[in-house]
Amino acid sequence: MKVLYFAWLRTRIGLGEEEVTPPAGIADVAGLIAWLKERSPGHQTAFADLRAVRVAVNQDHVGFDHPVAAGDEVAFFPPVTGG
């Protein structure tokens, strides 16, 4: 599974992208976040307040209850500020 980070999530985690293999039992975005938080203090900080975090699975905006599976591209970012 490919995980991408943008804007201040990338800065806090110190990575723009990582390839991860979550254990069986991680079935949705919320579960994935809980597992990613254990990877480093940076992950912990970035995911501390989920009200400020948005997620896309395979490039579509989704909610934290959306399923995730091996082979998915999951991206985390703050609310968008383009235009």
Partner 1 sequence: MIRVQREDFDVGVEVAAFSAGDAGVGAICTFVGLVRGGDGNGVTAMTLDHYPGMTERQMAAIESEARSRWPLSDVLVIHRFGRLEAGARIVLVATASAHREAAFQACQFLMDWLKTRAPFWKLEHTPGGDRWVEAKASDDALAERWDG
- Residue 23 or 83: the one with the smaller Cβ distance to partner 1 is 83
- Binding flag, residue 8, partner 1 (CB under 8 A): yes
81 binds partner 1 (CB under 8 A): yes
15 binds partner 1, rule: CB under 8 A: no
Q: What is the DSSP code string of 2-47?
A: EEEE-THHHHHHT-SEEE--PPTT--BHHHHHHHHGGG-HHHHHHT
Query: How many residues does the structure list for the chain?
Result: 83
Catalog residues that contact partner 1 under the rule CB under 8 A: 4, 6-8, 56, 59-61, 75, 77-83
